[in-house]
């Protein structure tokens, strides 16, 4: 018996990286998973890899109409949810001087608006006693040059989680933030413009971690599994840091 046997989960941003690893671990532990992302080809690959336990649905979490379509598809499949992992999001480097309204709106639209309404619209399908997990970032509490908008968006989400934990306590729904440190994902590498710059970026990020390496998506997925499972039955409104000690350095 897996730790999520007979559970049904939604994982957004599951096309690659941390989201993909979470979806895979949940399936390994017995869950049925609805996986979303913006790239249909990557979702098709995920479904082919993980088999019938995964239903892949293309959806942009920042698009409210697509979120409505997503939840209609889940409901039409005769499913309710036990676990919601609001993982979709991203960001780019931009100093205050270089920041544009469009880039600001894109980051907050994906990371804040998308997360808020992913969770809000899930509530009618989420079983009492369920688990909501939101992917945060160590940058929410650390100043990183040219990463202000992303950092602020993740700080906003951390505060939403604290409030939601109080608001949903009567339904015994636990709400927590999963906080990865620098993790070896296409998203992190993609912040750089060239392969050479990407290698320098990854090496620099690893050097800032006390364990002197990047995290692996599978390690972050292990934290998500804990928060999703009954092992975390008394954990809500919390931040689980999986960052190699970075946040305490």
57 is written with which tokens? Answer: 């649905």
Q: Is residue 81 classed as helix, strand or coil in its secondary structure? A: strand
Cα Rg of the chain (Å, integer): 17
161 is written with which tokens? Answer: 């989680």
Instruction: Tell me how many helices (H) and strands (E) the chain has.
Output: 9, 7
Measure CA 91 to chain center.
Answer: 13
CA separation, residue 69 to residues 57, 59, 60, 89 (Å):
9, 8, 10, 19
Contact criterion met (CB below 8 Å) for 246 and 204: no
CA separation, residue 24 to residues 76, 98, 168, 181, 228 (Å):
23, 38, 27, 20, 14
Q: Is residue 1 classed as helix, strand or coil in its secondary structure? A: coil
Active site residue 71: no
C-alpha to C-alpha distance for 246 and 249, rounded to whole angstroms: 5
71, 150, 160, 164: which is the annotated catalytic residue? Answer: 150
**C-alpha torsion angle, residues 75, 23, 103, 205 (rounded to 10):** 160
Q: Which residues pair with 248 in a beta bridge?
A: none
Q: Which residues are catalytic?
A: 150
């Amino acid at each position: 018996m897996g730790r999520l046997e007979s559970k049904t989960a939604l994982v957004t941003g599951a096309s690659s990286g941390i989201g993909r690893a979470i979806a895979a671990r949940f399936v390994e532990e017995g869950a049925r998973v609805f996986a979303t992302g913006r790239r249909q080809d990557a979702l098709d690959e995920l479904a082919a890899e993980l088999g019938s336990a995964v239903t892949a649905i293309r959806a942009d979490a920042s698009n409210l109409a697509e979120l409505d379509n997503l939840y209609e598809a889940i409901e039409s499949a005769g499913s309710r949810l036990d676990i919601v992992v609001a993982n979709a999001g991203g960001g780019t480097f931009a100093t205050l001087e270089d920041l544009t309204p469009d880039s600001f709106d894109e980051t907050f639209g994906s990371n804040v608006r998308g997360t808020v309404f992913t969770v809000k619209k899930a509530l009618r399908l989420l079983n009492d006693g369920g688990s909501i997990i939101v992917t945060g970032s160590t940058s929410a509490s650390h100043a990183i040059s040219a990463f202000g908008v992303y950092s602020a968006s993740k700080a906003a989400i951390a505060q939403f989680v604290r409030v939601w934990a109080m608001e949903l306590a009567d339904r015994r729904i636990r709400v927590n933030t999963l906080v990865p440190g620098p993790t070896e994902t296409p998203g992190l590498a993609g912040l750089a413009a060239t392969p050479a710059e990407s290698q320098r970026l990854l090496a620099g990020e690893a050097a800032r971690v006390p364990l002197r390496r990047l995290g692996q998506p599978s390690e972050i997925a292990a934290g998500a599994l804990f928060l999703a499972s009954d092992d975390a039955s008394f954990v809500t409104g919390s931040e689980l840091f999986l960052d190699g000690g970075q946040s305490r350095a």
